[in-house]
């Protein structure tokens, strides 16, 4: 059932208050991708087990498969069933209209990422689109996230090693971050400090000194995308510096696929795949989520 505007505003106000609290207290929200009911269940059960607040997020692919209103309803059903603190983020929304749809569906967090769909988008185009979404988000109070450039990688497993000399060319700078935040009025800046979407042949290396300089330069929230395959000590330090949100996807998908392959191989005559997923796959994904919640210092921080 669709939320009323009053309910949306109440949810968004609480989410905004909690993001500020996370930054002040030195912890961060884990933002975990929702691919299907099984991954949502894994995230919610992890949140319940760790008494941690969480975000679940969908990108355009999941929106096309599931639907914005269905995502909202699924999350709310699990929220009330398990009694957890949970919010929804529209991740990498490719254009203004898609972002507005997420706002109207009652998502508490909106990430507008014009450069994701158009790698050649100009600074002016990115700023203009972001400003339009920021203005429209006042309808509900949803928090808007963005960045001034394309963020590399993808939600997959990559065999090639990371070419950090190339990656460094896309790093955020304190000056760039400050100018972008001031030009757009966003609530959350997505920083690039060595974090990349996906899993790679070697663990990622984050430039925490750069993160500190970005934190000193801007007063809004900071998020880190591409949190998979990152040693946990980076997260523990990042939340102390002031990161309030970290996105996790590929680690969950890897656990999902590898555990599913194993349980299918171990049970060749079981044709109720949903039963196998419920028994084995959800637990594997849940374990990944729980480990991230510990690294982000959000365990025990839920307010229901």
List, for residues 98-107, the tens digit of each pLDDT value.
999 999 999 9
Q: What amino acid positions are annotated as catalytic residues?
A: 91
Residue 137 in domain: yes
Three-state DSSP at 224 gives strand
Residue 263 in domain: no
Mean pLDDT (whole number) for 240-261: 97
How high is the mean pLDDT of the chain?
A: 94
pLDDT of residue 120: 87
Sort 173 into a burial class: Cβ within 10 Å, 0-12 / 13-18 / 19+: middle
How many structural domains comprise the chain?
1
Residue 157 in domain: yes
pLDDT of residue 203: 80
Residue range(s) defining the domain that contains residue 134: 5-251+288-295
Select from 232, 247, 226, 234 the least CA-distant residue to 294.
232
CATH number assigned to the domain comprising residue 36:
3.20.20.70
| Top-confidence residue, 155 or 200 | 200
- Check if the beta carbon of residue 195 is closer than 8 Å to that of residue 167: no
User: What residue has token string 């194993």?
Assistant: 262
Residue 261 in domain: no
Indicate whether 4 pLDDT > 70: yes
Select from 55, 84, 217, 216 the least CA-distant residue to 142.
55
Residue 46 in domain: yes
Residue 279 in domain: no
pLDDT digits (tens, 9 = 90+) for 162-187: 777 777 888 999 999 999 999 999 99
| Top-confidence residue, 62 or 161 | 62
Q: What is the pTM of this model?
A: 0.94
State how far the Cα of 95 lies from the Cα of 105, in Å rounded to an integer: 16
State how far the Cα of 237 lies from the Cα of 273, in Å rounded to an integer: 40
- Check if the beta carbon of residue 303 is closer than 8 Å to that of residue 17: no
> How far from chain centre, in Å, is Cα 35?
13
Residue 191 in domain: yes
pLDDT digits (tens, 9 = 90+) for 70-89: 999 999 999 999 999 999 99
Residue 269 in domain: no
By 3-state DSSP, what share of the chain in percent is helix, strand and coil, each rounded to 5?
55, 15, 30
């Amino acid at each position: 059932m669709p939320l009323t505007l009053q309910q949306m505003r109440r949810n968004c106000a609480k989410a905004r208050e909690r993001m500020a609290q996370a930054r002040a207290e030195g912890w961060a929200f884990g933002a975990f991708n929702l691919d299907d009911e099984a991954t949502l269940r894994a995230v919610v059960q992890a949140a319940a087990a760790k008494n941690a607040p969480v975000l679940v997020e969908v990108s355009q692919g999941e929106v096309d498969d599931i639907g914005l209103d269905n995502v909202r309803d699924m999350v709310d059903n699990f929220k009330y069933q398990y009694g957890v603190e949970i919010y929804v983020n529209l991740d990498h929304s490719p254009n203004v209209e898609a972002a507005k749809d997420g706002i109207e569906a009652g998502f508490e967090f909106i990430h507008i990422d014009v450069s994701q769909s158009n790698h050649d988008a100009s600074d002016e185009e990115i700023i203009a689109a972001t400003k339009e979404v920021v203005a429209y988000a006042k309808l509900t109070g949803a928090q808007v996230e963005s960045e001034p450039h394309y963020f590399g990688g993808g939600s997959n497993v990559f065999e090639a090693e990371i070419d950090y000399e190339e990656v460094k060319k896309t790093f955020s700078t304190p000056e760039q971050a400050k100018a972008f935040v001031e030009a757009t009025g966003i609530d959350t800046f997505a920083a690039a400090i060595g974090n990349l979407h996906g899993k790679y042949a070697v663990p990622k290396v984050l430039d925490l000194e750069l993160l500190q300089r970005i934190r000193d330069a801007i007063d809004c929230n900071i998020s880190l995308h591409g949190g998979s395959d990152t040693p946990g000590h980076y997260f523990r330090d990042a939340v102390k510096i002031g990161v309030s949100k970290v996105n996790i996807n590929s680690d969950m998908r890897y656990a999902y696929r590898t555990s599913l392959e194993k349980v299918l191989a171990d049970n060749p005559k079981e044709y109720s795949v949903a039963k196998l997923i419920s028994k084995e796959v959800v637990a594997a994904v849940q374990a990944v989520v729980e480990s991230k919640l510990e690294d982000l210092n959000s365990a025990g921080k839920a307010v229901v």
